[in-house]
Amino acid sequence: MLDIVLTGHDLDHQHGPLHELIAALRPQRVLYRPTEPSLRLEGVEENAEGLAALAAEAERHEADYFEVRAGLSIKNFRAFFFDMDSTLIQNECIDDMAAAAGCLEEVRRMTREAMEGHWPFAENLQRRVALLKGQPESVIAHSTESVRITHGAPELMKFAARNGIQCYVVSGGFTNLTRPIAKRLGMTGAVSNELVLKDGCLTGEVRGPAGGKILDADGKRRAVEVLTQLLGASIDQALCCGDGANDLEMIQAAGLGVAFHAKPVVQAKAKLAIRHAGLEAIILLFREAWKDALPIDFPETGTASDAHAGVHMN
């Protein structure tokens, strides 16, 4: 059995194809949250054709569609892990540093190629950082000042904290930026690479966590495994979220893997993909987010009172 979550502003569940597709799936119960707005179809049988049609209709309305285990609870998780650049924040920080250094276009191209998985992340990162050689430490401050937090990130971190979830940044970026972002969002900590500085300038070198191997896709997955073990949990109790090819290993290893506005290679292989909403959509995956939701009457469900029947999503 599955629960299906739909979230998007241009959905009308009372009329037309969406109403018909939901009714055809015969969910045990349908819940509605007006604040997003969103629907949760509880207790849906696995019907590949019907689910694919509903997913396609949701996409037609630029709404997000998720299939999760029936009754999925936040209590089944111990830790959330997030990429930083283009996930927790809207920026690619090394691109911002490159803009201050006058080599934006070349670095931006290389960043895109790395995130699309066209060549090894560690080699790509080393070449990008090498272009910053000799730049003053102030280019890091320039990147920090331009940070834009992704919509929904603060709300997601508060939800996690209320439910006792530890949250970490696991990033191929740099400690000079990941630690302040983790602190700003009230997260547990951050694991990331380190820029090498000498006499107040970047040397053009980058090291991995604690001066070790550069944190790439394999390193991110291993970091998630180690941190989860330290919490006395298993990888099935971890949620991982990111957008680039170097996030794919941790996304696939986690009990719940989420691609966020991700590159095509990541969207294709992740269990769940947020294409339109902000990070707050992750909250909706868990049944605890629906405690105050309104029951909606659909054929075969019969769960709603007449007072709640026929509520619109727009």
d(CA 88, CA 16): 36
Supply the residues annotated as catalytic: 83, 85
Q: Give yes or no for a contact between 39 and 308, defined as CB atoms under 8 angstroms apart.
A: no
Q: Give yes or no for a contact between 221 and 253, defined as CB atoms under 8 angstroms apart.
A: yes
Instruction: Please enumerate, as own/partner, the contacts of 111-119 that have beta carbons within 8 Å and a separation of 24 or more.
Output: 114/244, 114/245, 114/246, 115/86, 115/243, 115/244, 115/245, 115/246, 115/263, 116/244, 116/245, 116/263, 116/264, 116/265, 117/244, 117/245, 117/246, 117/248, 117/263, 117/265
In terms of Cα–Cα distance, which of 150, 135, 174 is closest to 279?
150
Residue type, 71: G
What pairing do the DSSP bridges indicate for beta strands 201-207 and 189-198? antiparallel
Q: Give yes or no for a contact between 42 and 27, defined as CB atoms under 8 angstroms apart.
A: yes
Phi, psi of 229 (to 5 degrees): -65, -40
d(CA 67, CA 285): 9
Q: Is 127 exposed, middle or buried (0-12, 13-18, 19+ CB in 10 A)?
A: middle
- 3-class secondary-structure state, position 303: coil
The torsion defined by the Cα of 299, 304, 309 and 310, in degrees rounded to 10, comes to: -50
